């Protein structure tokens, strides 16, 4: 139960509400437990002795008890639900914050749908354990213990007979609990796969339709859904077997009590009212046992979700601030990459002993075949990944010795695939600097050649652009991304093939905005079209993770190496269009 105990640690912040809930539970349970005693008095005094005064008191007592019970039952239900929902809120916030701190490499290895499953399916099972099942456990547990105490007060011999069933019930619940927890883990795993597959299919809807694969995706969805169904039904089978098992044990104990208690009444050792009250308490015990078995099954399944949640919360954060890390001072933009090697996977080098430098305000370009390592260099500068060996320095500061926030605050990135949020144009640009005024946002848009098309939108800057900005063209999305970078005003700029996916007309507009953005900034440009980097201060040709050659455009052409081959190949293809 270590995971459940860990869940309960989150309850510390809500001690007052829990104390209030416990008071409500005690009063509600006490009201429940008094009813069998009323039945005893009804039989032994009212019916046997024709006592009208007692009958009047009993009737008034029943109304008072049910009113009190209802009032305090509402209190316990509301307070426990409040605490449970609050703890789930805290866990979900902690989990989301953890995902924000995890490195890019984690998301390289895990699908978006799988990450979403942690925040939805797994947290939902935790919510079930805390907000719902804990009410059953505490309430029914109180009734169970209270009933047992009252049974001892009525007849200790019959009470001892009842206790014999407790270890049998405990063993049954433990055996079933292990199987249910294992089944719950399987459900959470299948749900994670199902969510990942669903997210992937929906996000790729255009590709699905382009290849006419609707039927294939439906079949894939149904297959994954069937696996989830199969895992769920295995869990249902176990939980459905647990309850009747507990009920049968309780029924066997009740049968023994009826026979032995009936004999005691016949022999005159106890009254009929005492036996009826005792049997009522025995039923009061069997009902909590049945409900506790169901709650126990639910908790076991929920613990499978909790285990997955805690596995993420306990995950190491390899890209994190070192103890004593300092804030990077406002940088001039000097960058040194010294003898850097890096691998995404062990023994498969992505970069080998790369060294280069950039002075403030310079434009540095990377060219080379796909998979050569160009984007890898760009990803290492803002510490999306850490180098395996060597170092990267900005103004003489090793980037591993400064805080991540201060480092990335001075770096702007315009990627090839622009990611915009499902919000307004204004909010997407403001993402570059959250305290920017509307005037600063519009100024950044003008510098990015975006103001005119934004004003032509139905609601201008307040136009909602849809998920990932799909209501805009590729060139428009890219210009909003450039406006966002301009608003951030970074000293170091990374352009990762920012125009390669655009048509010629859009490329000219976007390139004009990029040229304006790079003025006065140290810029690293990953280029697909060589025409965009002719004016670079240094061009580094990357192949198989190594620098093959570097120099200016003219120097590299004169060297007649790999760059010259790429140039000839690219511009030869363009000749028919010129």
Tell me the fold of 416-489.
Rossmann fold (3.40.50)
- When pLDDT is cut at 50, 70 and 90, the band that residue 240 belongs to is confident
- Within 10 angstroms of residue 560's Cβ, the number of other Cβ atoms is 10
Instruction: Locate 456 and state its tokens.
Output: 């032509």
The token pair that represents 474 in the structure block: 């590729």
* Identical topology for domains 327-410+492-578 and 416-489: yes
Length of the chain: 578
Average pLDDT over residues 110-127: 79
The answer to whether the CB of 18 falls within 8 A of the CB of 87 is no
Lowest mean pLDDT among 228-242, 475-489, 554-568: 228-242
Quick one: pLDDT at residue 479? 86
DSSP SS3 for 330 = coil
What gap in Å lies between CA 165 and CA 181, rounded to an integer? Answer: 24
Strands of the sheet containing 389-394, edge to edge, are 348-358, 335-345, 389-394, 397-398
Domain boundaries, the chain: 2-188+236-313, 327-410+492-578, 416-489
pLDDT of residue 211: 65
The residues that bridge with 398 in the sheet, in sequence order, are: 393
Residue 577: pLDDT band by 50, 70, 90 thresholds? very low
357-377 per-position pLDDT tens digit: 999 999 999 998 888 888 899
CATH class of 327-410+492-578: alpha beta
Say what the pTM is: 0.71
Q: What is the mean pLDDT of the chain?
A: 80
The CA R_g of the chain, rounded to the nearest whole Å, is 35
Q: What is the pLDDT of residue 137?
A: 72
Decide if pLDDT at 158 tops 80: no
More confident: 179 or 43: 179
**How large is the average pLDDT for residues 183-204?**
74
Q: How far is CA 82 from the centre of its chain?
A: 21
pLDDT at 545 > cutoff 80: yes
Neighbouring C-alpha atoms within 13 Å toward the C-beta of 157: 9
**Confidence band of 169 (pLDDT split at 50, 70, 90):** low
The pLDDT of residue 210: 63
Residue 2, pLDDT > 90, answer no
Q: How confident is the model at residue 573 (pLDDT cuts 50, 70, 90)?
A: very low
Question: What per-residue confidence (pLDDT) applies to 170?
Answer: 67
| pLDDT surpassing 50 at residue 576 | no
Both tokens assigned to 128:
């079930």
Three-class DSSP category at 339: strand
Q: What pLDDT does 290 receive?
A: 65
What are the tens digits of pLDDT across the range 405-428? Answer: 999 999 988 887 778 888 899 999
User: Helix 474-488 and helix 504-518: axis angle, to 10°?
Assistant: 0
Flag whether pLDDT at 171 surpasses 50.
yes
Q: What confidence score (pLDDT) does residue 134 get? A: 66
pLDDT-derived band at 442 (thresholds 50, 70, 90) equals very high
More confident call, 156 vs 312: 312
pLDDT at 17 over 80: yes
pLDDT digits (tens, 9 = 90+) for 385-406: 999 999 999 999 999 999 999 9
CA distance 133 to 77: 11
Q: Tally Cβ neighbours within 10 Å of residue 42.
A: 19
pLDDT digits (tens, 9 = 90+) for 272-306: 777 777 777 676 666 676 667 667 767 776 777 78
DSSP string, 166-196: HHHHHHHHHHHHHHHHHHHHHHHHHHHHHHH
**Are 524 and 493 a contacting pair, CB within 8 Å?**
yes
**Adjacent-strand bridge partners of 330:** none
CATH superfamily membership of 2-188+236-313: ABC transporter type 1, transmembrane domain (1.20.1560.10)
Pairing of strands 522-526, 492-496: parallel
Closest to 456 measured CA to CA, from 478, 433, 473, 444: 473
| pLDDT for res 201 | 75
35 in Cβ contact with 151 (< 8 Å): no
Question: What's the rounded Cα separation, in Å, for the pair 387 and 297?
Answer: 47
pLDDT of residue 284: 66
- Is the pLDDT at 32 greater than 90? The verdict is no
578 pLDDT tier (thresholds 50, 70, 90)? very low
pLDDT category at 159 given cuts 50, 70, 90 is: confident
Strands (E), 285-422: 335-345, 348-358, 363-367, 389-394, 397-398, 411-414
Mean pLDDT for the stretch of residues 149-173: 72
Better-scored residue on pLDDT, 130 or 260? 260
Flag the least confident range among 20-29, 35-44, 509-518. Answer: 35-44
What does the pLDDT average to over 189-200?
75
Per-residue pLDDT, averaged over 18-31, amounts to 81
Model pLDDT, residue 151: 73
Share of the chain above pLDDT 90, in %: 19
**More confident site: 338 or 227:** 338
Contact between residue 513 and residue 482 where contact means Cβ atoms under 8 Å apart: yes
Residue pointed to by tokens 């002993």: 353
């Amino acid at each position: 139960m270590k995971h459940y105990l860990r869940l309960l640690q989150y309850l510390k912040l809500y001690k007052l509400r829990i104390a209030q809930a416990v008071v409500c539970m005690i009063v509600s349970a006490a009201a429940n437990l008094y009813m069998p005693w009323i039945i005893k008095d009804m039989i032994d005094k009212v019916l046997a002795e024709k006592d009208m005064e007692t009958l009047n008191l009993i009737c008034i007592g029943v109304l008072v008890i049910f009113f009190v019970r209802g009032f305090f039952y509402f209190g316990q239900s509301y307070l426990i639900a409040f605490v449970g929902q609050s703890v789930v809120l805290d866990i979900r916030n902690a989990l989301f914050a953890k995902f924000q701190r995890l490195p890019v490499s984690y998301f390289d290895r895990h699908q978006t749908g799988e990450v979403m499953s942690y925040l939805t399916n797994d947290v939902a099972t935790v919510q079930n354990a805390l907000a719902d099942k804990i009410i059953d456990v505490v309430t029914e547990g109180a009734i169970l213990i209270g009933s047992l105490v009252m049974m001892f007060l009525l007849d200790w011999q019959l009470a001892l007979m009842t206790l014999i069933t407790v270890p049998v019930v405990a063993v049954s619940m433990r055996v079933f609990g292990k199987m249910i927890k294992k089944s719950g883990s399987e459900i959470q795993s299948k749900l994670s796969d199902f969510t990942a597959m669903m997210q992937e299919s929906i996000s790729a809807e255009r590709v699905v339709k382009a290849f006419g694969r609707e039927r294939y995706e439906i079949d894939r969805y149904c297959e994954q859904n069937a696996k989830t169904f199969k895992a769920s039904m295995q869990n249902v089978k176990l939980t459905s077997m647990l309850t009747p098992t507990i009920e049968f044990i309780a029924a066997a104990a009740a049968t023994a009590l009826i026979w032995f208690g009936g004999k005691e009444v016949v022999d005159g050792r106890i009254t009929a009212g005492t036996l009826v009250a005792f049997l009522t308490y025995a039923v009061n015990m069997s009902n909590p046992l049945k409900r506790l078995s169901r709650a126990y099954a639910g908790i076991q399944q929920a613990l499978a979700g909790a285990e997955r949640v805690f596995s993420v919360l306990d995950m190491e954060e390899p890209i994190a601030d070192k103890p004593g890390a300092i804030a990077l001072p406002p940088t001039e933009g000097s960058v040194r990459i010294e003898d850097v090697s890096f691998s995404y996977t062990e023994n498969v080098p992505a970069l080998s002993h790369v060294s280069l430098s950039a002075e403030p305000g310079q434009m540095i370009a990377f060219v080379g075949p796909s998979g050569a390592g160009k984007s890898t260099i760009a990803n290492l500068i803002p510490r999306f990944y850490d180098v395996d060996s060597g170092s990267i320095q900005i103004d003489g500061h090793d980037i591993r010795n400064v805080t991540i926030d201060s480092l990335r605050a001075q770096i702007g990135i315009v990627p090839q695939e622009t990611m915009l949020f499902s919000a307004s144009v204004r909010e997407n640009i403001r993402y570059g600097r959250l305290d920017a005024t509307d005037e600063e946002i519009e100024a950044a848009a003008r510098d990015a050649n975006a103001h005119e098309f934004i004003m032509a939108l139905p609601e201008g800057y307040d136009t909602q652009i849809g998920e990932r900005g799909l209501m805009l063209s590729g060139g428009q999305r890219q210009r909003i991304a450039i406006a966002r970078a301009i608003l951030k005003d970074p000293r170091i700029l990374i352009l990762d093939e920012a125009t390669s996916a655009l048509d010629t007309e859009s490329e000219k507009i976007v390139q004009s905005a990029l040229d304006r953005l790079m003025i006065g900034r140290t810029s690293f440009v990953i280029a697909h079209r060589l025409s965009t980097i002719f004016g670079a201060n240094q061009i580094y040709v990357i192949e198989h993770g190594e620098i093959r050659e570097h120099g200016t455009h003219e120097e590299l052409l004169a060297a007649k190496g790999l760059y010259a081959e790429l140039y000839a190949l690219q511009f030869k293809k363009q000749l028919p269009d010129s």
